[in-house]
Every structure is written in C-alpha cells, then in structure tokens.
Amino acid sequence: MSKSNLTRRGLLKTSAVAGAGVALPTIFTASSASAFTNEPTGSTVTLGFNVPQSGPYADEGADELRAYELAVEHLNGGGDGGMMNTFSSKALQGNGIMGKKVEYVTGDTQTKSDAARASAKSMIEKDGAIMITGGSSSGVAVAVQALCQEAGVIFMAGLTHSNDTTGKDKRANGFRHFFNSYMSGAALAPVLANAYGTDRKAYHLTADYNWGYTTEEAIRASTEAMGWETVAAVKTPLTQTDFSSYIAPVLQSGADTLVLNHYGGNMVNSLTNAVQFGLRDKQVNGKDFQIIVPLYSRLMARGAGENVKGIFGSTNWHWSLTDEGSKTFVKSFGEKYGFPPSQAAHTCYVQTLLYADAVERAGSFQPCAVAEALEGFEFDGLGNGPTLYRAEDHQCFKDVLVVKGKENPTSEFDLLEIVEVTPAEQVTYAPDHPQFSGGALGSCNNGA
Amino acid sequence: MDAIILQILNGLDKGSAYALIALGLTLIFGTLGVVNFAHGALFMIGAFCAVTLSRILSLSHQVIDETRTDFLGNPLKVDVPYIYGWFGEATGQAIIDWSVPLSLLFAIPVMILIGVAMERGLIKHFYKRPHADQILVTFGLAIVLQEIIKYYYGANPIPTPAPEAFTGSFDFGAAIGMEANQIIYPYWRLVYFAFAAVIIGAVFAFLQFTTFGMVVRAGMADRETVGLLGINIDRRFTIMFGIAAAVAGLAGVMYTPINSPNYHMGMDFLVLSFVVVVVGGMGSLPGAVLAGFLLGILESFASMKEVIDLIPGINQIIIYLVAIIILLTRPRGLMGRKGVMED
C-alpha cells in the first residue's frame, strides 16, 4: 500500500502556481493584441452567412438568406422584433449585439465542401466575420465546422441532419439547432408502428454519402427495434436522376414498405419514380404498400407535387405550428416576403438569435465565452417548445415533428400536415450513443 | 428471369432518352462537323417548354374564399385558371391535365427557332475552328442557358405530371401469365419508348426518303462536291441543326413526367450522351441509336442489387467501363465510319 504525502496546503500552493503558469500567456496576449479572431472593435459586428446561392439547393439557400436578413433586422431593432418577443431569454434589446450594429456578409457554399470552406475562409479573413452560419448539407456543415474550429470562430450550423455533425465530427466551436437522423428514426418509429403495424418488410434506398448512411442506420435501428424486417438496403449514387432501375426490383423482393433515405433532387426523383411505378396502389403480404421519406422539406416536397400525398416523414419545424414563437415568426416572415418560411429558414433565424443572445449573456464576443453561454442553455419560445443546447455534443434537444403529405393542400406551401409532435425526451439519447460515437468536441478555440 | 426482363424494360426508356439526344448530337456532328456540348441544354429547354405551356394554361386570377384562411389568417385567395372561364371547369381541367402532350406542338416551333438562332448566331462562326474551340464555346453556351433557366424558374425541380390517363403501371407479369406485381412498368415510360421509336423512325425516313434528306446525306459524305453542284448546303445544314434541336427538345418535353425538370437536367444527360455517340461511332446515326439502347440497358443491369453486391460501385462506372472496352476493341465505335475525326 502506498502512502500519499499530499496535504491541503500543498495542493493549494501547487494549484496556484500551475494556475498562474497557465494564465500567463493569456495575460500577455490580452494586453498586447486582440484576444480572439475578428474581435469587433468599432461600432459594428459582422456575421457571415454561408448559404447555397447557386447549385441544386439554391432555393433553400435563398430562403435561409431571407431568414438571416430578417434576424439582422430584428436584432438591430427593425421590423416587429419577431421571435425576440417570444424568446424566453430577454438579453436581446433590439440594439444590435452588445450595442454594436449587426452587419453581414454572404458566401456561396454551392453545396460543395471545398467551395463552402473557401467562402467561409474569405468571410473570416477578408470580411472579419465573427461567426459563420448556414448551409443546406451535412457534408458542407462538417467541413465548415472544422474550418471554424481552426480559425477560432463560432459556427452555428444551418440545415444539417446527419448524426455526424454533432457525432463523430463534432467540434467545440460548432453548434447545431437542427434535429438529426437519430431523432427522425426515434420520432417516426412509433407513428409508423401505429399506422402500418409492427410486421413490415422494409426496403431501403439510400443516398451514397454521409447523411444517407446515418439516416439509414437510424431508421433501420428504430424500425427493427419495433419488429420490422429490413429485406434490403441499396445505395444509390448521389448523381442519379432516374431511379427506375432501383425501384423496379422492390416489389420482387417481397418488401411491403419502401424507405427513401434521399434528400433534395434525389428525393423528388425517387419518390416520383416510385409513385409512377404504382407502388402505392399495390398490395404485398396482404398489406397496402407504403413509402416513407425520413426527412421532409417543404421546398423539396413542392418538387414532388402530388406524389407526397399521404407519405410520412419528419421535419424540424413547420409553419403551421400554433405556439406563440412559430406564429410570430410566420407573421414576421410572411408579411415581409409574402409566403411562409421553410424549416431551413426557421433554423437559421433561430441560430442567429441564439448566437446573439449567448454573446449578450456572456458579455463578450469571445468564442469560448459564447460557447460556454450556449452549453447547457435551456430556452423556449423559438418554435420548438422547451429546448436544451446540450453541453456534451452541442446538439439541441427539442420536440420533433412527424408529418404527412397533405391530401387536400390549399396552396403550394400547404403540402405537409403535422401528424404528431414527438416530445423531446422521446428523441433524446446518451452522448455516447453508438450512432454518435467516435469523435470528441475537443477544446474551444478563440483563434487570433 | 423476371428481374432480367424488368431491367431490360427499364433500360429501354433510359436508352430512349440517350438515343434521342445522341441522335441529335450525331446529326449535328455529321452535317456541320461541330461537337455540340450545348445539346443537353436543348433537351433541358424542351422540358421547360412543357413547364412553360403548363404555366400558361394554368394562368389564373385570384378569387377570395371567405370560408378558408391562408397562413397569415387572412381570407384564402384561391387561384382559378382563366381557362376554366373560357371552356368550363371540366374541359379546362382536361386541357391542363394534357399539357405535356400538348407541349409537343408548342415545343417544335420554339426548338427549331432556338436551334436555327443558335447555329446562325454563334456556332457558324466556329465551323473552321478546332474541335476544342467548338467544345469550349458550346459548353459555355450550355452554362449560360441553364443559368438563364435557373434565373426564371428557380433551382428546384418543377413537377410536370403526365395526363391522369397514363398514371400507374402496367403489370407485364400478369399479362404473360406470371405472378402479379413481378414485372410492372409505368404506362408513361411505355409511351416514352413508343414516342422515341416514332421520332427515330421519322428522322431516318426523312433522311432516307426525301430529296432534302438525300442532299443532307450527300453533304455529310462530301460537303464540297455537293456545294460545287450548286446546292446551298449551308442552308440545309442550318435546317438540320433546327431539326436536331427539335428532336432533343421533344425528348425533353416527354421526359418531364418521368423526372421533374430542373435546370441542370441537360448536363446530367450530356456526358452520357457523348459516351453513347462515341461508343456508337462518331457520325453514325444507327450507331447512336444502338449504343443509346445498349448503354441504357447495361446501366439498368448494373444497378441491380445482386450486381452491386458482387462488384460494389459498378452502377456508377458501367457505362465508362463498357465504353473503354468497346473503344479498345473497335476504335471507331460500334458502327463508326472510316475517316470521321481521323484527319
């Protein structure tokens, strides 16, 4: 048995010396140069909105940009203040962020990782952006998040649904408000069991990239847990436009349910093709054949037209929600632009407000202070009910919407109806859940 | 066995689109000697002719429905197409429903006009320039055209459904006495295949049995001699460019119900269509059609789960792999003529 000579006094002494040693470099740098990347010194602060302005997701990017412009207007005291009025935190006063007027620059991600990194880099280095936000793809989000970590700025992710963004690729400087593949699976499974029973044979078609894999994994895990069998899972190239050769063998496989782990143009085309093949009119194993789209987007649903009718999926937010936050946001956005906001617009608007609020609460633009203010932050009034920004992985935990393609839409925006609001606790998982394992937040970076 | 029949059927409609685009490409290459990288854009513009006509037919005035509300809680403004007022609701609906087939009539003059304008306005200046210049300028033109379309129609796909009568699928299996649901095939894809066959047949007949076609074929073989005979071959070639544009455009119109059109659909088809032309043999019309169907069917087979399990990723490279093998064994392609692009 070993004997320790550690005393209380000795421990205090050692800690004090070690603490001074660790603090030393900061003491010097703080007084000699800016303490962190792009520290705002004038009367303005610049945010960087990195959204797809060209390429296949340009329409989604345009909606994100509208939301950002609205958020900036509200932060600077313009308009009706939007969700700042319903937000549970009252730190924002409509006088910019910490009294500095909010300005912004935009970048075009083109939904390509390298282009998105280049535009984010340019906004940080040339335009002095203190925070980068936006995007419509998980590949882009993961790439830009890593760049922001290196550069020492905060990244508030836009639309990114892959588990990896706050799983194996999570970073201390990155934060995601949007939900993820696991949550889609956890929210959808009970609704599917209820609607279609627990004895189903599912056939997965999966987009051959990061988001597709995590979505397939999540949906398989949750549907298999309730008794469904996965008869096949086929990966489809991201560039595929005609899915007929993938859809034609589905009926031959004996499957009675088709899960389309596709997003954007892939989803529009695969769903259209599946409906063309008449799958939904068929009976297999004595049951009506069904199609499921795990991640719905209203903008994408528009492309698939009538084909979305009656098809289940999940979504982060929908303009038909009736809570005060959602109603206020829809009113602000609708009156400014003439149509309701998309879920991409919602998450981007909320992320901007959350960032600004965290700065106010931290009393500093310093990324590590902002990160600390966001970690473990609980809030309400931003459209998804009570929400937690979990400290362990920087993922928001909130209610998830299960939606269905509407049978009788009243307009081109009225395509989805909310079937169930799945409570946050039902979609919450442990930070070390196997679907999210393999990465670490690391420590936050102030840059400079 | 049924899986094989199914994939052959699948390959036929994909092959139809490849064949129609490749046919136009070969016509232009054979007559004008131009490698036209903007040909995919013509296919895309054809598809947007269908979108445009469908929008024209659906032009509406708003009627306020007090019983319902919009997303802001105001009385709902319901769009009522003008066409309902002119022809009655039932007929109006039927006309809108049939907008894709009707677009064929709309697209023919539009596409010929665009084709002729493209040839006279830009491409004729590049006849004597190297192929690399032609490729660069036509590729640039393709990008300009697709950006124009994106500006006016947005980046998202636009649903353009087939007439109600053609929705659903035909059960081939049940028809030939097999188990039901084993070989099903959408009606519209059958229509597409039949349409492609008619167009291909018409182009061949036109070239084979008309004086105009005879002059064009002679011009393809020896442009100089035909010119020396006092025939204005340039004018005929311009018309052929218009016809090739129309073929691509019509292929695009009929393709819209298969996949909702978007601004980059032309690029998706372009590269594959070039491979089709090269495999078929530069300048050979029957070669283009044959290779179109062949590669369409092979692509379908390569996307079968059993094949992917055996050779992962084969579905993404099969066309290029076959192209390499064919070009190694038959350098002029399947039906290539001696002397084309060999000087």
Q: Give the model confidence (pLDDT) of A161-186 as tens digits.
A: 999 999 999 999 999 999 999 999 99
- What is the structure's pLDDT at B183? 81
- What is the structure's pLDDT at A182? 96
- What is the structure's pLDDT at B231? 86
- What is the structure's pLDDT at A411? 81
- What is the structure's pLDDT at A440? 93
Give backbone dihedrals phi and psi of B9, rounded to 5 degrees, phi first: -60, -45
What digits encode the pLDDT tens for the residues A185-226?
999 999 999 999 999 999 999 998 889 999 999 999 999 999
Q: How are beta strands A257-261 and A290-295 bridged, if at all? A: parallel
Which is nearest to A178 in space by CA: A356, A401, A328?
Answer: A401
Question: Is position B339 within any domain?
Answer: no
Q: Is the pLDDT of residue B181 over 80?
A: no
For the domain bounded by A44-179+319-398, which CATH number is listed? 3.40.50.2300
**How far is it, in rounded angstroms, from Cα B155 to Cα B151?**
8
Quote the percentage of chain A above a pLDDT of 70: 92
Indicate the number of domains in chain B: 1
For the domain bounded by A182-315, which CATH number is listed? 3.40.50.2300
Q: Tell me how close the Cα of B297 comes to any Cα of chain A, in angstroms.
A: 10
Q: Tell me how close the Cα of A287 comes to any Cα of chain B, in angstroms.
A: 13
- What is the structure's pLDDT at A140? 94
Range of the domain at B189: 2-329
- What is the structure's pLDDT at A26? 42
Strand partners, A156: A133, A175
Whether the CB of A246 is below 8 Å from some CB of chain B: the reply is yes
**How far is it, in rounded angstroms, from Cα B226 to Cα B233?**
7
Question: Is position B125 within any domain?
Answer: yes
Q: What is the mean pLDDT of residues B45-60?
A: 95
Q: What is the mean pLDDT of residues B209-229?
A: 86
Please list every residue in chain B whose beta carbon sits closer than 8 Å to the beta carbon of residue A55: 155
Instruction: Of A24-33, A352-361, B333-342, give the range with the top mean pLDDT.
Output: A352-361
Q: Is the pLDDT of residue A32 over 70?
A: no
CA closest to A54 among chain B residues: B155
Do A182-315 and A44-179+319-398 fall under one CATH topology?
Answer: yes
Q: What is the mean pLDDT of residues A67-84?
A: 96
Angle at which helices B314-329 and B285-302 cross, to 10°: 140
The Cβ-side half-sphere exposure at A384, using a 13 Å CA radius, reads: 27
What digits encode the pLDDT tens for the residues A117-139?
999 999 999 999 999 999 999 99
Q: Is the pLDDT of residue A11 over 90?
A: no
Hey, what are B276's tokens? Answer: 């089709």
Q: Is the pLDDT of residue B1 over 70?
A: no
- What is the structure's pLDDT at A31? 37
Q: What is the mean pLDDT of residues B333-339?
A: 76
**How far is it, in rounded angstroms, from Cα A377 to Cα A2?**
44
The DSSP-derived string for A16-59 is: HHHHHHHHHHHHHHHHHS-SSTT---SSEEEEEEEE--SSTTHH
- pLDDT bracket for residue A2 (50, 70, 90): very low
Which is nearest to B255 in space by CA: B183, B185, B170, B196?
Answer: B196
Question: Is position B306 within any domain?
Answer: yes
Q: What is the mean pLDDT of chain A?
A: 90
Report chain B's C-alpha Rg in angstroms.
22
- pLDDT bracket for residue A30 (50, 70, 90): very low
Of A56, A276, A413, the CB nearest to B186: A276
- pLDDT bracket for residue B117 (50, 70, 90): very high
Q: What is the mean pLDDT of residues A104-111?
A: 94
- 276-315 in chain A: CB under 8 A from chain B: 276-278, 281-282, 284, 299-300, 302-307
Q: Is the pLDDT of residue A280 over 90?
A: no
Q: What is the mean pLDDT of residues A131-156?
A: 96
Q: What is the mean pLDDT of residues B22-47?
A: 89
| Site from A231, A235, A242, A308 to mutate, B interface, most B CB atoms within 10 angstroms | A242
Q: What is the mean pLDDT of residues B275-303?
A: 88
A426-440, B1-15, B258-272, B274-288: range with lowest mean pLDDT = B1-15
- What is the structure's pLDDT at A404? 94
Please answer yes or no on whether A307 and B159 come within 8 Å at the CB atom.
yes
A257-266, A353-362, B107-116, B333-342: range with lowest mean pLDDT = B333-342
What ranges do the domains of chain A cover? 44-179+319-398, 182-315
CA closest to B4 among chain A residues: A249
- Please indicate whether residue B253 or residue B311 has the higher confidence score (pLDDT): B253
**How far is it, in rounded angstroms, from Cα A137 to Cα A154?**
18
- pLDDT bracket for residue A4 (50, 70, 90): very low
Q: Is the pLDDT of residue B129 over 90?
A: no
- What is the structure's pLDDT at A328? 96
- Residue A170 gets the label, from left (phi > 0), alpha (psi -120 to 50) or beta, of beta
- What is the structure's pLDDT at A34? 66
Name the 3-class secondary structure at B139: helix
Q: What is the mean pLDDT of residues B31-50?
A: 91
Neighbours of A72 (CB within 10 A): 21
- What is the structure's pLDDT at B284? 84
- What is the structure's pLDDT at A3? 45
| Site from A252, A287, A333 to mutate, B interface, most B CB atoms within 10 angstroms | A252
- What is the structure's pLDDT at A42? 92
Q: What is the mean pLDDT of residues B319-343?
A: 80
- What is the structure's pLDDT at B167? 83
**How far is it, in rounded angstroms, from Cα B71 to Cα B169?**
37
B155 with A55: CB under 8 angstroms?
yes
**How far is it, in rounded angstroms, from Cα B278 to Cα B219?**
21
- What is the structure's pLDDT at A111? 87
**How far is it, in rounded angstroms, from Cα A185 to Cα B263?**
33
Q: Is the pLDDT of residue A19 over 80?
A: no
Please answer yes or no on whether B260 and A269 come within 8 Å at the CB atom.
yes
Instruction: Of A9-23, A317-331, B161-175, give the range with the top mean pLDDT.
Output: A317-331
Residue type, A110: Q
Question: Is position B40 within any domain?
Answer: yes
Q: Is the pLDDT of residue A424 over 60?
A: yes
Q: Is the pLDDT of residue A24 over 50?
A: no
Q: What is the mean pLDDT of residues A54-65?
A: 88
Q: What is the mean pLDDT of residues A411-429?
A: 92
| Site from A238, A245, A336 to mutate, B interface, most B CB atoms within 10 angstroms | A245
